[in-house]
Structure 1
Amino acid sequence: MTEKRANVLVTTAGAVGTAGKILGLRQHGHRVVATDCDPRSAGLYLADAAFTVPGGTSPAFLGRMRRICASENIQAIVPLVDEELLPVWELAAEGVEILLPHAEMVALCLDKLVLMETLAEAKVTVPHTRLATFGAGSLAYPLIVKPRAGRGGRGIAIARNRRELRDILARAGDLGQWIIQEYVEGPEFSVSVVAWRDGQVQAVVPKEVVLKEGSSRYAISRRNPAITEICIETAHALDADGPFNVQLRLDSLGAPQVFEINPRFSGSSALTTAAGIDEINGLLAQALDTHQPPVTDNWQENVAMIRHPIETFVPADEFVARRNALEAAH
C-alpha cells in the first residue's frame, strides 16, 4: 500500500537527534517544516521550511504554532520536547494529527510521582518513590533526587547516604517539586514502544545505553523478553495509544524496573530505525491513512549507535536566505 505524502511539522529542531528525524521524513517524500526557539538550530536548515517559535511554556507558543499550521497546511505534528506536548494537543481540534499518546497519558507521564504511583498500583515494577517533602523514610540508599516535572537528567543528583541527601535537599528549594527515588544501579535501557490509536503494542525495541551524556551517546539494540513484557504491561496500564519511550534499569537479579517515561518519540529513535523499526514514518502512515498496516515487530539486535556530529552541505544562497529570514523573524 502506498504511503501518503504529507506536510509534517517537527518541533525542537536543535535537539540531539532531531536532524536525523527531519532527514528521515524527507527521504520518505514528506515535506518537513521545522520549528525551534533558537534560529541557530541546525535542523531549521535541513527542513523544507523553518520557523522560530516561543518556548512551549510561553502564552504565545500556541498561537504561533496555529498560524504556522494554517500557512503551511500542516497535516501532522511530531512534538519532541516535554514543554510542548500538552499545548500541541490543542491543534488536534483543527484536524492536525498529533503523533503522541492521548493528552491524559502525556499529563500523567509528565508528573513523575503520579506516574510511579500509577504504575505501582498496576503491578508494574518501579523503584520506590516518595515526594521529597516527606524525606527518605524507609527508602534504601543510594537515592536519586530529581524534579517532579521536567526533562531528562536536568537537576538530578544521587545521594549515597543520609548526609548527602540532606545537603541535596537543602539546595533544592520547594521540596514539593522534587521526588526521591531508590536508585537502581544496573544497566540502563531506553525502550521505544510503538503503539497507535487502537491501543495495540506494535513493537518494542530495547536499547541498552552504553554512555549517556544528557541523551544516549552510545547505545545498542538488545533483545530482552523481560523488558518487552514490562513495556507491554506499562502500555496497558496507561492505555497507551501513541508512541512512548520507557526508561528503565535492570536490578541485581536482572529484572527491569521502570523509572521514567517520555510520552513521545525518544531521542534515540534513529537507533530504533536502524534496527529495523521506522516508528516515526510507520505511525505517520497510520495517522494519515487508517488502512495502513501496523508496524511489523521484526528488528535486528546488536546494532550499535555511535552518536556524533555530521556535516550536511547545501547551496550557500539557500542557507543565507534562510538564516536571514529566521534571524529577522526571531
Structure 2
Amino acid sequence: MNVLVTSISKKVPLIEKVKDAATRDKSNFKVYVGDTFADCIGRYFSDAFWKMPLLENLHIQELIKYCKEHNIKVIFPSREGELTYFSERKEYLKMNNIYVMVSELDGLNRTQDKLEFYNFLIEKKYPVIKTRLCIDEKDTGFYVVKDRFGTGSLNLHLNVTSVEAIRVAKQLRQPIFQPYIVGTEYSIDVYVDTFGKSKGAIVRERVLVVNGESQITKTIQYKELESLAMGLAEVLGLYGHVMFQIIVDSNGNPHIIECNPRFGGASTLSIEAGLDSFYWFLLEAQGESLEKYPFIRANKELTQIRYPKDLIF
C-alpha cells in the first residue's frame, strides 16, 4: 500500500512528513511523488517519481492504471488548482480502492469563491471579513484587492486607497474588495475526520511572511481561534487537512480572511505540534477508527524557520 503526493514541486518538508507517517504503519508504505515538471526538486527526496501529464489531459483511467500498477492506495493533492479535479473523481477512485485527502465539491466551492465564502459565513453569523464586488472612489479607509477565485499572494494589493483600489482592480479578471485590517495574522491548521468532526487544531502566528508564505512561524495556544477554526471546518463541510487565515485586530476581534482546504507550506509545524494529519488519513484510508489515536498537542511552543538547503550526491 503506497502513497502518491501530486504537484510536488519543491515541497520537500511535506514529503518528509508523509514518509514519517508511512514508516509508522506496518504496511511499509513507499512514497511516490508526481509533477508535470520532470526536473522538479521533490523527485530527489521520494521513493519514486511520476512525470504526470497536465490534469486536463489526465484521464481518470490513466490515473487508476498508474496507481494499481504501483499499489498506490492513497493520494495527497498538494496544490489548490488540482483539488477540484480530485474532488470530482473522489468517489470513483474510492470504488477502485484509492483514497484521496480532499473535501467534497460543495465544501471546496465555498472556500474557493471568496464572495461565496463571505456570503455563506455571514449568514451563519461568523466574523468573516466583509467582501464586496465594488466600492466608491469617495469611500474612506484602506482596502485589499484580490482575485475572487485567486490563490496565494498573486494579484494581491494591500493597504490601498479607494481610488488606487479601483485602479488596480481593472487589472484583475474578477476583483473583490475587502477592508484592510491592522492586526496579528494567524494560520490555523485543522484535521477533519471522515465523520465531518474536527479532531484538533493548531494556531500558528505568521511572524515573517515573504511573498504570501510564512518564513518564520511559531505555534501559540489560542483557544478562541482553535474553537473558531474547528467549527468553521465543520460548518463548511470540509474533510482532511484544512487551513484558515484569520487576523485579530487591536481590540481582540477575529476577522476570518480565507480558507485553504489543503496542507499548507508551513503546516509541517502543526504536525510537529501534534496535528497528525497524514497518519490519521492513512489510518482512515485503511478503515481504522481514530478514536484510539487522540490529538495530543505538544507541551511546549515551537518555532519553524523555512530556509533553502543544498543536497549533494
- Which moved further from structure 2: 115-124 or 60-69? 60-69
Q: Deviations over 1:119-161 (max 9, x none)?
A: 1111111111012xx3358976321111111321111112431
CA 1:225–1:51: 2 relative to 1, 3 Å: same
Alignment correspondent of 1:130:
132
Root-mean-square deviation (CA, aligned residues, Å) is 2.3
1:223 pairs with 2:209: no
- 2:64 and 2:94 map into 1 onto residues whose CA distance is 10
Alignment correspondent of 1:169:
169
Unaligned runs of 5+ in 1: 1-5, 315-330
Alignment correspondent of 1:282:
280
Task: Find the partner of 2:265 among 243, 267, 270.
Answer: 267
Give 1:306 deviation, angstroms: 0.4
1:24 pairs with 2:26: no
Give 1:216 deviation, angstroms: 1.3
Give 1:312 deviation, angstroms: 4.4
Alignment correspondent of 1:9:
4
- Partner amino acid, structure 2, of 1:112: K
CA contact (8 A) 1:218 1:306 kept: yes
Task: Find the partner of 1:104 among 103, 106, 116.
Answer: 106
Unaligned runs of 5+ in 2: none
- Which moved further from structure 2: 249-258 or 92-101? 92-101
- Partner amino acid, structure 1, of 2:185: E
CA contact (8 A) 2:185 2:246 kept: yes
Query: In the TM superposition, what are the counterparts of 1:54-203 in structure 2 within 5 Å?
Result: 54-56=53-55, 58-60=56-58, 62=60, 64-89=62-87, 90=89, 91-131=93-133, 134-135=134-135, 141-172=141-172, 174=173, 177-203=174-200
- Partner amino acid, structure 2, of 1:8: V
- Secondary structure in structure 2 of the residue aligned to 1:193: strand
Would you say how many aligned residue pairs link Structure 1 and Structure 2? 303
- 1:297 and 1:55 map into 2 onto residues whose CA distance is 39
- 1:142 and 1:159 map into 2 onto residues whose CA distance is 5
Q: Deviations over 1:2-35 (max 9, x none)?
A: xxxx311111211444343344345434211100
CA 1:23–1:189: 2 relative to 1, 3 Å: same
- 1:264 and 1:100 map into 2 onto residues whose CA distance is 7
CA 1:171–1:239: 2 relative to 1, 3 Å: closer
Query: In the TM superposition, what are the counterparts of 1:300-315 in structure 2 within 5 Å?
Result: 300-312=299-311
- Partner amino acid, structure 1, of 2:4: L
- Secondary structure in structure 2 of the residue aligned to 1:232: helix
- 2:40 and 2:264 map into 1 onto residues whose CA distance is 19
CA contact (8 A) 1:191 1:204 kept: yes
- Which moved further from structure 2: 98-107 or 203-212? 98-107
- Which moved further from structure 2: 63-72 or 29-38? 63-72
- 1:226 and 1:245 map into 2 onto residues whose CA distance is 16
- 1:183 and 1:262 map into 2 onto residues whose CA distance is 20
Give 1:192 deviation, angstroms: 0.6
- Partner amino acid, structure 1, of 2:180: Y
TM-score, normalised to structure 1, is 0.84
Give 1:220 deviation, angstroms: 0.2
- Secondary structure in structure 2 of the residue aligned to 1:130: coil
CA contact (8 A) 1:189 1:249 kept: yes
Give 1:201 deviation, angstroms: 1.2
CA contact (8 A) 2:32 2:49 kept: yes
Q: Deviations over 1:22-80 (max 9, x none)?
A: 44345434211100111121211211111111344x23365553332232121111111
- Partner amino acid, structure 2, of 1:306: I
- Secondary structure in structure 2 of the residue aligned to 1:75: strand
CA 1:311–1:286: 2 relative to 1, 3 Å: farther
- Partner amino acid, structure 2, of 1:49: A
CA 1:138–1:52: 2 relative to 1, 3 Å: farther
CA 1:37–1:72: 2 relative to 1, 3 Å: same
